[in-house]
A and B are shown apart, each in its own frame.
With several copies, the nearest count.
Chain A
């Protein structure tokens, strides 16, 4: 089983090294194209002027933040169930990237909100659930950081991620429901305006770029984690020899 062979961290390390450019370079290219289309080709919005262009970062970031959480939970779960170290490391690597995208969508959302709504923040359902998602990432990362033994950290993280993933839909809907109960939202998100074709193109390109970037950065981070753990292990082995 060739695949099985690559599931060992030590074997995967060089493979990951080779894979990184294949994702990083297209990511860079697509970012360049996407930003160009988004900022220069796409027409100015008749309501919001140019402020809406922040969407090209905001929306992919928000999507990535949510997808990556699920992906992280899946990897962590596989790592736990099958004792696959590489999979667990993958989960740890994804967590930071996911948290970063979530934070990015919060920040860009806030910068978008200021010109359009006149406020940095409102307790809108989507914003709130994104914020909670960030907290969930933070919990996962903090838990893993607090545990010295990497194997134990992996498994504890897996339990938390799985519990979190079961909860995410519940949280999402409860927040949705919470906000609409009190008031018809004073300000709605853009809704679904018929987006101009260049806008949609730019959005999709940016989304693809974010995906490629995520893969590349996760691989980089994975390599760091592998290296760090091997070093720790060999340092201990050396001393105990």
Chain B
């Protein structure tokens, strides 16, 4: 990603591989909106976003092979088991993951023994873990994570931290909107504070 500007805040930023951006700011300061602009769910009122030099609008659907976005809502279907959720979500994305890999990822996320339980029997925190397991099996380079620590207990927060660290070590970029601090030991950390 090379440049981004936002009308009512005047934001200009370029990120190199291995960067972690911590997006903070009081409620309603525009964290979610910024992330949604970055994954083209919203159009910026002005300015443009470039990925590897090209405007993301001109990249079309190809851009999405490089991006994973996790929003406020976990995107986990109640009727499907954790395993089905993971494999089908990836298959729809064009990445077919075999059952073994998928259940490996779920085990890493601390869901061992619950892979085949319909997601409606999982607690809120466990559902978020299913969503996070997608980060383990995907090979995208830009992660956009919105309030990813919501309703996670301490163990899970530690897991997310190490996930992001590995991602940065592989040269990925992660932009995370959060109210809680996340101290990373790898990569370059940038703090971006939005104000109302």
Contacts and interface: CB of A to CB of B under 8 A. Distances in A.
The answer to whether any beta carbons of A and B sit under 8 Å apart in the complex is yes
Contacts of A236: 117, 121
Nearest to A237: B8
A240 B121 CA distance: 10
B196 A239 contact: no
A239 B122 CA distance: 10
A235 B120 contact: no
A236 B116 CA distance: 11
Q: Is the interface of A mostly helix, strand, loop or mixed?
A: helix
A235 B81 CA distance: 14
A235 B116 CA distance: 11
A148 B196 contact: no
A235 B196 contact: no
Interface string A27-47: 000000000000000000000
Contact of A148 (B113, B114, B120): B120
Contacts of B121: 236, 239
A74 B136 CA distance: 48
Nearest to A238: B113
A235 B121 CA distance: 10
A240 B117 contact: no
Nearest to A240: B196
Nearest to B113: A239
A235 B114 CA distance: 10
A239 B110 CA distance: 12
Interface string B47-58: 000000000000
Nearest to B112: A239
A240 B117 CA distance: 11
Contacts of B113: 239
A240 B113 CA distance: 10
A184 to B, nearest CB: 53
B105 to A, nearest CB: 18
Contacts of B196: 240
A239 B117 CA distance: 9
Contacts of B120: 148
A41 to B, nearest CB: 54
Nearest to A236: B121
Contacts of B117: 235-236, 239
Q: Which of B28, B114, B117, B121 has the most CB of A within 10 A?
A: B121
A239 B115 CA distance: 10
Contacts of A148: 120
A239 B123 CA distance: 12
A235 B196 CA distance: 15
B28 to A, nearest CB: 8
A98 B113 CA distance: 39
**7 closest cross-chain pairs (CB), A and B:** A239-B114, A239-B113, A148-B120, A236-B121, A239-B117, A240-B196, A235-B117
Given A239-B114, A239-B117, 4 more contacts: A236-B117, A236-B121, A240-B28, A240-B196
10 contacts: A148-B120, A235-B117, A236-B117, A236-B121, A239-B113, A239-B114, A239-B117, A239-B121, A240-B28, A240-B196
Interface of B: 28, 113-114, 117, 120-121, 196
